[in-house]
């Protein structure tokens, strides 16, 4: 796996021009595509995993390989933040319980404080790649979380339309036991998409009174092998970093898009990247042709977004 600097400088794998998809992805397709496990050699290191709902591809890579020294940098930033507000930690639990009666700014502050408290053990960063707008298929789930004492980058890929359900089951397994979810524009897009697609596949149900109980920890302490239709889904405090970025840098920067923040706040720039508008067509071509090389640029894009999300998490407060 390329290191962070190389990810920014390197040309991602070239992607094919947009083409008409061979099949609309508005719902699950049960039939198997032409992809076989031998062709996964064209993807970054990973493996095919199987759960109760089928199979999908998973890649797990230590963040230390992608971002050498990143763990130490994160520890330093967390120490700085916690020392700057030594009394905040003791009051966060109480403030979280009262969040539903506060103004939006106070609620957002509670969510960010919860994220800082949860890092790194109980927090998870999430970024999706989908086949289009709301209601379309989710085909790639990217996560950064801590496992066995180290931060790892996980990428869950549905190799064809029929693998979405199995992929979402693995996602809920990874979220179980975590307390705080961090996204970028996830309250408007990513998280509703996860719930909508899970409902379509009869994977659990939203927890009761989720809006009132956002600051309660996730339900469950371990990974559920099967998320049945009537099982409650894990409930996490959700910190959407886009909202914090707008409060801090809105009006000071050209906009608050993720790559704008990457350039002006984190002081790095991607030399090349697949445009988001091309990603759905690339995925459809991948399913149609079984050419795994096509999807590498999308995995590259998703990994960069996640690393940027992790860095921003300690800069927006």
Please check whether residue 171 lies inside any domain of the structure.
yes
Query: Domain limits at 180?
Result: 4-312
Q: What is the pLDDT of residues 222-262, one digit of tens each?
A: 455 688 898 999 999 999 999 999 999 999 999 999 999 99
pLDDT at 224 (0 to 100) = 56
Please check whether residue 317 lies inside any domain of the structure.
no
CATH number at residue 248: 3.30.420
Number of domain units in the chain:
1
pLDDT at 34 (0 to 100) = 43
Cβ burial, residue 6 (10 Å; 0-12/13-18/19+): exposed
Query: Which residues of the chain carry a pLDDT beneath 50?
Result: 1, 10-37, 87-101, 209-222
Q: Angle, to 10 degrees, between the axis of helix 241-249 and the axis of helix 296-312?
A: 60
What contacts 36, CB < 8 A, 6 or more positions away? Answer: 290
**Residues 125 and 119: beta-carbon distance below 8 Å:** no
Enter the tokens of residue 272.
């090349």
pLDDT at 309 (0 to 100) = 97
Please check whether residue 146 lies inside any domain of the structure.
yes
Please check whether residue 136 lies inside any domain of the structure.
yes
**Residues 258 and 184: beta-carbon distance below 8 Å:** yes
How does 65-82 read in b/e, with b if 16+ C-beta sit within 10 Å? ebbeebbeebeebbeebe
């Amino acid at each position: 796996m390329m290191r962070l600097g190389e990810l920014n400088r390197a040309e991602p794998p070239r992607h094919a021009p947009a083409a008409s998809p061979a099949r609309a992805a508005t719902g699950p397709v049960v039939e198997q595509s032409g992809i076989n496990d031998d062709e996964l050699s064209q993807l970054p290191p990973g493996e095919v995993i199987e759960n109760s709902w089928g199979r999908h591809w998973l890649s797990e890579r230590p963040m230390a390989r992608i971002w050498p020294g990143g763990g130490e940098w994160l520890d330093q930033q967390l120490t700085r933040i916690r020392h700057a507000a030594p009394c905040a930690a003791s009051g966060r639990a109480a403030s979280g319980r009262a969040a539903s009666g506060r103004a939006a700014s106070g609620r957002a502050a509670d969510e960010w404080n919860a994220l800082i408290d949860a890092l790194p053990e109980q927090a998870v960063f999430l970024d999706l790649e989908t086949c289009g707008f709301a209601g379309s298929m989710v085909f790639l789930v990217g996560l950064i979380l801590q496992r066995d004492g180290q931060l790892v980058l996980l990428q869950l890929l549905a190799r064809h339309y029929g693998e979405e359900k199995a992929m979402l089951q693995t996602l809920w397994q990874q979220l179980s036991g975590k307390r705080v979810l961090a996204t970028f524009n996830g309250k408007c897009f990513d998280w509703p998409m996860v719930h909508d697609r899970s409902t379509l596949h009869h994977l659990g149900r939203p927890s009761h009174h989720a809006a009132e109980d956002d600051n309660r920890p996730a339900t469950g302490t371990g990974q559920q092998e099967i998320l049945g239709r009537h099982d409650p889904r894990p409930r996490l405090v959700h910190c959407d970093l886009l909202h914090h970025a707008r409060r801090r840098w809105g009006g000071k920067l050209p906009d608050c898009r993720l790559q704008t923040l990457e350039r002006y706040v984190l002081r790095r720039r991607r030399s090349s990247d697949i445009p988001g508008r091309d990603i759905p067509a690339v995925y459809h071509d991948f399913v149609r042709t079984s050419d795994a090389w096509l999807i590498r640029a999308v995995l590259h894009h998703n990994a960069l977004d996640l690393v940027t999300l992790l860095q921003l998490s300690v800069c927006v407060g």
